[in-house]
C-alpha cells in the first residue's frame, strides 16, 4: 500500500465550478499537509500548508484535513482556466524531514 493515494484524474470541469481534490494516507504520524500546483514543464509551486486537523482558507482555495479519516482535501471555488494544472498533495512527519507525495491529479477547467 502506498503511503499517499491520489486519484490521477484527469478531472474536467466548466469554468466557475467548485473543484474538490482529495488524498488519502495510511500513516497516522503525518502532521503536516501540503498542496502543490504544477503547470506543464514547471516546478511544483506550494499552494497551501496546514498543520494537523482543520481548515485553512486562502482566497479561492480551502485546504481541509480530517485526521480521523486520514483524508485531506483541496477545494477551489470559482475555478478558472488558469487553474488547469496538476495538483499534488504531500505530507510529512514532524522533524523527520521526509516528504511523501501523491501522484498528482490533473485538472482541466474549460472556458
Partner 1 sequence: NAGVMQNPRHLVRRRGQEARLRCSPMKGHSHVYWYRQLPEEGLKFMVYLQKENIIDESGMPKERFSAEFPKEGPSILRIQQVVRGDSAAYFCASSHPGTVAGNTIYFGEGSWLTVV
Which residue of 72, 88, 107, 109 would you call a contact of partner 1, by CB under 8 A?
Answer: 88
Q: Who's near 98: CB < 8 A, 6+ residues apart?
A: 92
Q: Give the phi and the psi of residue 83 in degrees, each rounded to 5.
A: -80, -5
CB 36 within 8 A of CB 87: yes
Kindly indicate which of the ranges 18-26, 54-62, 69-77, 95-103 contains the residues binding partner 1, using the contact rule CB under 8 A. Answer: 95-103
Nearer to partner 1, 3 or 78 (CB): 3
The residue behind cell 486562502 is: 58
Residues that bind partner 1 (CB under 8 A): 31-32, 34, 36, 41-46, 49, 51, 88, 90, 92, 94-95, 97-99, 101-104
Amino acid at each position: 500500500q502506498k503511503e499517499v493515494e491520489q486519484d490521477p484524474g484527469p478531472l474536467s470541469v466548466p469554468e466557475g465550478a467548485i473543484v474538490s481534490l482529495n488524498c488519502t494516507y495510511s500513516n497516522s504520524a503525518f502532521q503536516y499537509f501540503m498542496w502543490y500546483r504544477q503547470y506543464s514543464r514547471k516546478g511544483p509551486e506550494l499552494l497551501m500548508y496546514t498543520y494537523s486537523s482543520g481548515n485553512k482558507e486562502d482566497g479561492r482555495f480551502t485546504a481541509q484535513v480530517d485526521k480521523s479519516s486520514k483524508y485531506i482535501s483541496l477545494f477551489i471555488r470559482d475555478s478558472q482556466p488558469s487553474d488547469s494544472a496538476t495538483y499534488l498533495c504531500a505530507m510529512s512527519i514532524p522533524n523527520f524531514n521526509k516528504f511523501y507525495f501523491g501522484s498528482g491529479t490533473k485538472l482541466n477547467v474549460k472556458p
